[in-house]
Homo-oligomer: A and B are copies of this chain.
Amino acid sequence: MLPTPKKYFLTAASAEGRSRLTAFDNALLNARIGNLNLIRVSSILPPAAELDNDLVIPPGSLVPTAYGFIVSDVPGELISAAVAVGISEESFGVIMEFSGKCSKAEAEETVAAMVREGFETRRKPLKEIKVAAVEHRVEKIGCCLAAIPLWY
């Protein structure tokens, strides 16, 4: 089997780029995860995974990551991305991502509500929610990205 991740951190950043993909790439770089091979996952924090804000992951590594992003080429538009993880007392956690044409505060509220719904559905007690979010006013082509990389 593939090894289950043991560590994680939250990150969010925005950027402009000359194209949609390079705006995304630049946002990844600003979020400190631009030199990795992100593998998108849907989106559970493994049991006993520990927050580690000082993780250094070698370039090119395959990194399971829950993320949301939005790219816009409408100058002046306000865009946001947020990610949240709900921590349970003694079991796995639930990760939610959100992005949209809204403020950072709205994205934070939305993603936190999604985590609460995820815990309600699972009938698990929710101990704590951690959120990372970012907003960006588009100049030419802008991207907001929020991510929870999972690592070892």
Residue numbers of A with Cβ under 8 A of B are: 1-5, 17-19, 21-22, 24-26, 28-29, 34-47, 49, 58-64, 66, 91-92, 94, 96-98, 110, 113-114, 117-118, 121-122, 150-152
Contact = CB atoms under 8 A, between A and B. Distances in A.
B64 A22 contact: no
Interface of A is mostly: mixed
B38 A59 contact: no
Given A40-B40, A42-B38, A114-B21, A29 B121 contact: yes
Contacts of A24: 42
B151 A29 contact: no
Contacts of A28: 42
A41 B21 contact: no
Contacts of A37: 5, 41-44, 46, 64, 66, 150
Can you tell how many copies of this chain the complex includes? Answer: 3
10 contacts: A1-B151, A1-B152, A2-B62, A22-B118, A25-B96, A25-B118, A29-B121, A34-B122, A35-B44, A37-B150
